[in-house]
């Protein structure tokens, strides 16, 4: 599917070039043509402000330029009224006749409606993008904070797929370093306690989940690993990682997230990726030795976070980051790598960009999305801690209370850079105060219309959409046709929260249509036309819900 804005841009470019060839406009290099949605619907469906930009190039008044562009604008079936407004806007209104025809287009495209093809990479192939998200240290259950990461990453992956990218979802498992070593010690303590040993509680990772894991391990192996030794501690490390990852897979499945790849940090060293990246930096002269350590060259020579190899010869966490970028862009050939990180990682963004550039890649090949914290409340009152886990609230606990759909939708309702509140009581309400209910009820209402139609022998077969003339019918079509634009904009700007706004607006327009227009009535022809319109709305709403990873209820 080709976006209508792209067609309008080409139409305007052709008009400008024609005006230049006719001598009405001087020759100049065309600037980017912008197509916007006007703030006021009365101004039309689209507005083009480019005449203001061209005024300096053409040495003419913006209004004069806009009028010339309109004069040479080719006649096309999708455009109705075209006007010029001060200080030089070109306002375009879609043809009502064309709008009515788009109901058939939506029905023909079905599940594909809203999808389009993105431009290919330099080699002409479809662009490959990787979205790496959650990637919390594998030391405990999935918390609500990481749940926001999960919903953002997965929905963005859905959008990018709809925009024509080949997408891989990846979880990066930090199985190297102190945190995992401490987890192994904590599991050993709980394992020994389960065997009746008088062992102190672990100083880190004190949640009940480790007590459960220790007891389960005793049932499986008895006291086989009780004697403290390096070998048994390594087994504890492996058992802890295995069980935590199994738990994470269950937690992510609860919110309908399934990763294409679980990537282990240790593999960067086992498969020689770190060495390859290190040698690349060395060959490019990007490494310097100072104070016995190896540093990455940077603008800030004193930033100790730029140490790649410690003075004792051990690679730093930054070294893993560098090797991981190399693995993504050089070894696996992704055109674009997206990271979803908590806002507390903001200091690492510049560093990772510099490392990417130092490896010889365009730093724009990586994008880091930073998200803010989530506050869990009940009727606006913060919930301080979990009933089960103590000092953190798990995804599993919240999903059991409010459901997967409410969890995903609510965590999408704000842009990633905005702190957000998840009100558990609001998420459970079965009324229009709850945006999740409001949107899904729109779909359920459509399903009920078709049950009624079937019961009364009504059908959309042969429906003539030219009979649709009520203002709310036309507005519903307009709203449906925004879906491809929303997908394009949200994918381009990495802003999946746009889907929640659109879903609510679409549901609101549909509910208004339902209020104003009786669908199944005595007029057989009008009934058939309106059933087609309702079916198109059903397709559009279903596709929007799927993009958000939500279910599509036939009844509520």
- pLDDT at position 175 over 80: yes
Distances (CA, A) of 220 to 1, 215, 225: 55, 9, 11
C-alpha 529/C-alpha 445 separation (Å) is: 18
pLDDT-derived band at 305, boundaries 50, 70, 90:
confident
pLDDT at position 326: 98
The per-residue pLDDT for 387 is 47
The secondary element (H helix, E strand) that includes residue 76 is: none
pLDDT for the residue 301: 62
pLDDT at 302: 61
Average pLDDT estimate for 137-158:
95
Give residue 388's pLDDT. Answer: 47
The CB density around residue 178, as the number of other CB atoms within 10 Å, is 9
Q: What confidence tens digit (pLDDT) does each residue in 391-433 have? A: 678 999 999 999 999 999 999 999 999 999 999 999 999 999 9
DSSP code per residue over 191-240: HHHHTT---PPPSS--SHHHHHHHHHHHHHHTTTT-S--HHHHHHHHHHH
- Give the mean pLDDT of the chain: 94
Q: For residue range 432-446, what is the model confidence (pLDDT) as tens digits?
A: 999 999 999 999 999
pLDDT at 299: 72
**Cβ-proximal residues to 451 (8 Å cutoff; 6+ apart), any chain:** none
User: Nearest-CA neighbor of 488 among 165, 45, 167, 168?
Assistant: 165
> Distance between CA 63 and CA 69 in Å, rounded?
10
Q: What percent of the chain has pLDDT over 70?
A: 97
Cα distances from 279 to residues 98, 301, 423, 489, in angstroms, run 60, 21, 51, 39
Q: At what angle do helices 498-516 and 471-480 cross, to 10 degrees?
A: 160
* Structural domains of the chain ordered from first start: 4-93 (3.30.1360.70), 101-111+432-547 (1.10.730.10)
Neighbours of 302 (CB within 10 A): 8
- Tell me 30's DSSP state: P
State the pLDDT at residue 1: 57
Q: Work out the number of other CB atoms within 10 angstroms of the CB of residue 227.
A: 8
Distance of alpha carbon 353 from alpha carbon 350, whole angstroms: 5
Report phi then psi at 461, rounded to 5: -60, 130
Neighbour tally for 230: CB within 10 Å: 7
Burial of residue 358 (CB within 10 Å: 0-12, 13-18, 19+) is: buried
Q: What is the pLDDT of residue 300?
A: 67
pLDDT at 182: 93
Q: What is the pLDDT of residue 118?
A: 79
Q: Note the pLDDT of residue 41.
A: 86
Model confidence at 390: pLDDT above 60? no
Q: What Cα–Cα distance (Å) separates residue 347 from each residue in 176, 526, 532? A: 21, 60, 53
Closest among 60, 62, 71, 75 to 25, alpha carbons compared: 60
CA separation (Å) from 247 to 140, 146, 209, 215, 363?
A: 8, 14, 10, 16, 35
Residues 234-280: tens digit of each pLDDT: 999 999 999 999 999 999 999 999 999 999 999 999 999 999 999 99
Strand partners, 325: none
Q: What is the mean pLDDT of residues 179-185?
A: 93
Residue 10 makes CB contacts below 8 A (sequence gap 6+) with none
Q: How does pLDDT run across 329-359, given as a tens digit for each residue?
A: 999 999 999 999 999 999 899 999 999 999 9
Residue 79 class from Cβ within 10 Å (0-12 exposed, 13-18 middle, 19+ buried)? buried
In which band, very low, low, confident or very high, does the pLDDT at 367 lie, cut at 50, 70 and 90? very high
């Amino acid at each position: 599917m080709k976006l209508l804005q792209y067609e309008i841009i080409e139409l305007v470019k052709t008009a400008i070039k024609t005006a230049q060839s006719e001598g009405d406009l001087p020759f100049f290099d065309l600037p980017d043509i912008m197509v916007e949605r006007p703030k006021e619907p009365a101004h039309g469906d689209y507005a083009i402000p480019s005449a203001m930009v061209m005024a300096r190039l053409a040495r003419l008044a913006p209004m004069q330029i806009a009028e010339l562009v309109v004069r040479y604008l080719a006649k096309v079936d999708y455009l109705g009224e075209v006007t010029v407004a001060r200080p030089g806007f070109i306002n375009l209104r879609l043809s009502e006749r064309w709008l009515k025809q788009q109901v058939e287009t939506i029905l023909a495209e079905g599940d594909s409606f809203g999808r389009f093809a993105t431009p290919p990479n330099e080699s002409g192939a479809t662009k490959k993008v990787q979205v790496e998200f959650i990637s919390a240290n594998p030391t405990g259950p999935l918390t609500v904070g990481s749940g926001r990461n999960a919903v953002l990453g997965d929905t963005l992956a859905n959008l990018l797929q709809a925009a024509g990218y080949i997408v891989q979802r990846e979880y990066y498992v930090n199985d190297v370093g102190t945190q995992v070593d401490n987890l192994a010690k904590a599991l050993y303590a709980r394992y020994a306690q389960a065997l009746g040993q008088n062992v102190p509680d672990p100083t880190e990772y004190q949640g009940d989940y480790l007590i459960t894991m220790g007891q389960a391990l005793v049932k499986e192996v008895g006291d086989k690993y009780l004697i403290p030794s390096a070998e048994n501690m390594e087994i504890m490390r492996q058992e802890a990682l295995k069980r935590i990852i199994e738990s994470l897979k269950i937690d992510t499945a609860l919110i309908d997230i399934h990763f294409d790849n679980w990537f282990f940090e240790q593999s960067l060293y086992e498969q020689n990726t770190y060495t390859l990246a290190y040698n690349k930096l060395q060959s490019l002269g990007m490494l310097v030795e100072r104070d016995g350590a190896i540093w990455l060259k940077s603008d800030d020579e004193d930033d100790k976070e730029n140490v790649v190899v410690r003075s004792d010869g051990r690679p730093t966490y930054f070294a893993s980051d560098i090797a991981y970028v190399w693995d993504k862009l050089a070894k696996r050939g992704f055109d674009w790598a997206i990271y979803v990180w908590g806002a507390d990682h903001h200091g690492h963004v510049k560093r990772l960009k510099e490392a990417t550039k130092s490896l010889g890649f365009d730093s724009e090949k990586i994008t880091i999305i930073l998200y803010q914290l989530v506050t869990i409340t009940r009727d606006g009152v913060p919930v301080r801690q979990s009933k089960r886990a103590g000092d953190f609230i798990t995804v599993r606990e919240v999903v059991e209370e409010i459901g997967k759909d409410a969890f995903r939708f609510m965590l999408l309702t704000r842009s990633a850079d905005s702190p957000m509140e998840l009100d558990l009581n609001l998420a459970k309400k079965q009324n229009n105060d709850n945006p999740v209910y409001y949107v899904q009820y729109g779909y359920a209402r459509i399903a009920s219309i078709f049950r009624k139609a079937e019961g009364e022998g009504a059908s959309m077969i042969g429906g003539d959409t030219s009979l649709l003339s009520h203002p709310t019918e036309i507005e519903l079509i307009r709203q449906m046709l925004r879906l491809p634009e929303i997908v394009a904009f949200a994918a381009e700007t990495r802003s999946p929260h746009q889907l929640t706004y659109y879903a609510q607006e679409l549901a609101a327009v549909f509910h208004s249509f339902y209020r104003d227009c009786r669908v199944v009535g005595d007029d057989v022809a009008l009934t058939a036309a309106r059933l087609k319109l309702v079916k198109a709305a059903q397709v559009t709403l279903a596709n929007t819900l799927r993009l958000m990873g939500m279910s599509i209820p036939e009844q509520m």
